[in-house]
Structures are given as C-alpha cells and as structure tokens.
Amino acid sequence: MRSFWRTLDRQTIRDIALVCVADALVGASFGAIAVSGGLDAWVPVAMSLLVFAGSAQFAAIGVVLAGGGVIAAVVTGLVLNARLLPFGFAVSDVLAGRGRLLGAHLIMDEAVAFTMRQTGPRHRRAAFWACGIALFVVWNVSVVLGAFAGEIISDTGALGLDAAFPAVLLALVLPALRDRGTRHAALLGAAVALAATPFLPAGVPVLLALAGLVLYVPEMRRQEVAH
C-alpha cells in the first residue's frame, strides 16, 4: 500500500483524500439512516462489506424503508450497479494477476476515475489500488460509526451529510469542463437526468445521463483526426 502512495503525485493523493473525507460523511449518513429507520445495525454493516457500492446501498435501503420487498431492493441495486460492468473492462489491465477478485470488489466510480486519469501502467495500478483500498476502509469504518449514531440521532436528514459527496465530486469534475466536448456532453447528460427525475425511480435518471456520450464520442473522433 505504501508503494502505491509513493508512486502517485501529490495532487492525486490530495484528491483521493478529499473523496475519502466525503465518503466518510456519506458512509456515516448511510449507517445512521438505516438504523434510525428501524433496521438492525448489522444490516448496513454487512451490506457495506459485501456490496460496497454507495448509491446501490442507499437505493436498496430506501426501497426497504419505504415498504418495498427484498426483491425490489436487490433489483434496484443491480440496475444502479450495471454501470460497473463497462468500468471493469476499462480497468482490466490493473486487475491482472493476483488479487483479481479483491480488485473486482473494489471497482467503483472513484477508483475508476482516478485510474483513467493516469497514463502509465504503474501509475494506473497505483491509483486504482490506493483509492480502492482507502475508500473501502474509510467507508466501512464510517458506516459502523454511523450505525451506532443512528440509535441516538432521531432526524438524520437534518444533518445533510449526504450532500458532501456530490459537492466534492463536482469540485473534482469542474476542471474537466474546460474541454468543450466534455462540457457539451455533461450538459446534455444533466438535462436528460433532470427531465427524467420526476418520472423514473431514483438512480435511473443518472444512468440515462450517459446519453451525453452521443456528443462526446464524435468530438473525440474529430480531435483525433485533427491531431
């Protein structure tokens, strides 16, 4: 683990640390919401260890707390995690060899994003494992603490802890929006997601935001031809 940190530059380490801080707040919020909603503390803890997918965990717990069945909760989580399949292909080079199963468990938006920012194989591997392991530890510890806090806090929504995560991600994404193609794709994806939000279950509009790629892919091809 130490060798991974030594391989990465300071900016990448700082960004991973910021995401870890945001994940800690969201993880604590998840544990608190699950327990204060009436679930046993072991439920969010076990889910975090075995599933380890924040958005899917929130969605599944939301379905259960709203009175939905286990099957509906599982299907909701699977739909949200469908995006991880192409993510696995994108980082397949860093999962070769030993630890492949553990690496597959650590595939998440943040680890893939940091991996894609790197160029060389050594740096890509370091970014994936450093981010994945750090977030796994931080997320699970914070969920345990949040589960204990959920037995004390009556109104977890008043704290607004879940807002920290998207705020940090937005700060990380903003520099990429200087590129015109990326900016146009992001705006289209955001418009599609916003339009679909009133009509579709939580999480599905985010998947539909991938429609923004119809603008991004042609722009990438034009840039390749220009160079």
Segment 182-202 shows an average pLDDT of 78
Give the separation between CA 66 and CA 70, rounded to whole angstroms: 11
What angle do helix axes 213-226 and 180-196 make, rounded to 10 degrees?
170
pLDDT tens digits, one per residue of 134-166:
999 999 999 999 888 877 766 655 566 555 556
What is the residue type of 119?
T
3 state DSSP class of 28:
helix
- pLDDT at residue 119 in the model: 82
Q: pTM here? A: 0.69
Mean pLDDT, the chain, whole residue set: 77
pLDDT at 47 over 70: yes
DSSP string, 169-191: HHHHHGGGGGSHHHHHHHHHHHH
Cβ(174)–Cβ(200) below 8 Å: no
pLDDT at 167 over 70: no
> Token pair for residue 129?
């494992």
Instruction: Measure Cα distances from 54 to 121, 143, 149 in Å.
Output: 27, 11, 18
pLDDT at 222 over 70: no
Output phi, psi for 153, to 5 deg.
-80, 125
In whole angstroms, how large is the CA radius of gyration of the chain? 18
More confident residue, 193 or 130: 130
pLDDT tens digits, one per residue of 73-120:
787 778 777 778 888 888 888 887 777 888 888 888 888 888 888 888
